[in-house]
Amino acid sequence: MLKVVVIGYGEMFTNLIAGTLDANCNIVGVFRKEMMKYHPFIRKIKDICFPSLDYNYIKSYNLPEICARGVNTKQFKKEILKLNPDIILIGSWGERIKKEIYDIPKIATINAHPSLLPKYRGPNPYYWVIRNQEQTTGVSFHLVDSDYDTGAILAQEEIKIYPSDTGKTLKERTVLTARGVVCELLKDLSEDIIIPLTQLEEKSTYYSHPSDYELDFSKSAEENYAKIRAIYPWDNAYFYHNITCLSALPAGTEILENTSEYTKPGTIAGLNVDNKTIDVLCGDGKILRIRTENCKKYDRPFTRIYLDNEIQIGCVL
């Protein structure tokens, strides 16, 4: 039975734990991000009063936790040497892991990355694949090396991207896929030798943290709709009406043919106060019907009042 340590946070972390248990492996330790995010005293209070989903999941399976302030600390190294794992699994992590740590397991340190590597290396590929209007993405399990997301690939599975997908729905499907893939990967590693496949650098792409969420109506309705869907649920895309910032929500937003008299991109061609939607003409001649809210949370109850009194059909954003 393989001895496994699982490191990470969020849905990928918990699904890797589930997949490891599905494979009948022995989880000898888990290390969650909260261990390094909070002072030990604060974390203990938080675990009692406001337990996270990660903490509750770990406790539901009575898994042993590793106590350290980071994966590259002397304390973490000491704990890993004591546990003597066959594999370290990583699901969502920001630290670059040092060679002296990732070389400890008998078999390998393996990272789960939510894209079809070598494409879409870097943080939050969920956002970028939707933003770039890709048709497919995937999940890759690769060996950890000295750089981010560059190690040789052990297993991959392709995932279809649907036209209605948001970052949230795509992530939910991806982590569930990862659970099944890691289960089969661990079974294979316990029974046979897997030959890692070196990533082809000439096909690699890297995307950093997303930052530009403002809609650009000179571009196509598809491009703007993709941006709205991609950033949800981490943030909202937005646009300005005069000096007022309005959020664009994926639920209720849709692309329509232009049946109005307007031809200039950015023109407000329609308005529905009750549904809180604004129809905006885009650069491809199509209408983007945007479900909107005021960006400031305390203003949101007044969105309908703002739309009714301030928005005029025919004005240009």
| pLDDT at residue 298 in the model | 47
Confidence (pTM): 0.92
- B/e letters for 239-269, b = 16+ CB within 10 Å, e = fewer, are bebeeeebbbbbeebebeebebebeebbbbb
| pLDDT at residue 296 in the model | 57
Q: Render each residue's pLDDT in the chain as its tens digit; 317 residues.
A: 999 999 999 999 999 999 999 999 999 999 999 988 888 888 889 889 999 999 999 999 999 999 999 999 999 999 999 999 999 999 999 888 999 999 999 999 999 999 999 999 999 999 999 999 999 999 999 999 988 899 999 999 999 999 999 999 999 999 999 999 999 999 999 988 889 999 999 999 999 988 889 999 999 999 999 999 999 999 999 999 988 899 999 999 999 999 999 999 999 999 999 999 999 999 999 999 999 987 655 455 578 888 888 999 999 99
Task: Give CA separation, 8 vs 33, 58, 91, 139, 263, in Å.
Answer: 6, 12, 5, 16, 50
Residue 212 class from Cβ within 10 Å (0-12 exposed, 13-18 middle, 19+ buried)?
exposed
* Cβ pair 89, 3 in contact under 8 A: no
| pLDDT at residue 192 in the model | 81
| pLDDT at residue 299 in the model | 53
Domains of the chain as residue ranges with CATH: 3-203 (3.40.50.170), 221-310 (3.10.25.10)
